[in-house]
Amino acid sequence: MADIKYYLIRGRRLGKTQEDGYYLYDNGQWIVDERNVILDHLMGFDPGDDSFYGFGNAEIMDEMEEITEEQAIAFMNRDM
């Protein structure tokens, strides 16, 4: 079984990582995170800072928390 991690972004957006990539939960389905929302939060990428220091921003990293599968399922059920 693949190692899947679930994330809650800004308390209102669900995401996950698994072997084959990053996904966001949108309109009842998992879609590929083409805009790198999850990876940007994991790395603390600040799009407003175009210097080398645009990475590692703790405030951006803190906008996303890892949650359990049970919490993710509850979020999806609430969203229905």
Residue 39 and residue 32 in contact, taking contact as beta carbons nearer than 8 Å: no
- Sign for the CA dihedral angle at 46, 50, 54, 55 comes to positive
Can you give the pTM of this predicted structure?
0.84
- Asked if residue 58 has pLDDT above 90, the reply is no
What are the backbone dihedrals phi and psi of residue 30, each rounded to the nearest 5 degrees, phi first?
-90, 125
Q: How many residues does the chain have?
A: 80
Of the pLDDT bands very low, low, confident and very high (cuts 50, 70, 90), residue 15 is very high
Mean pLDDT of 60-70: 95
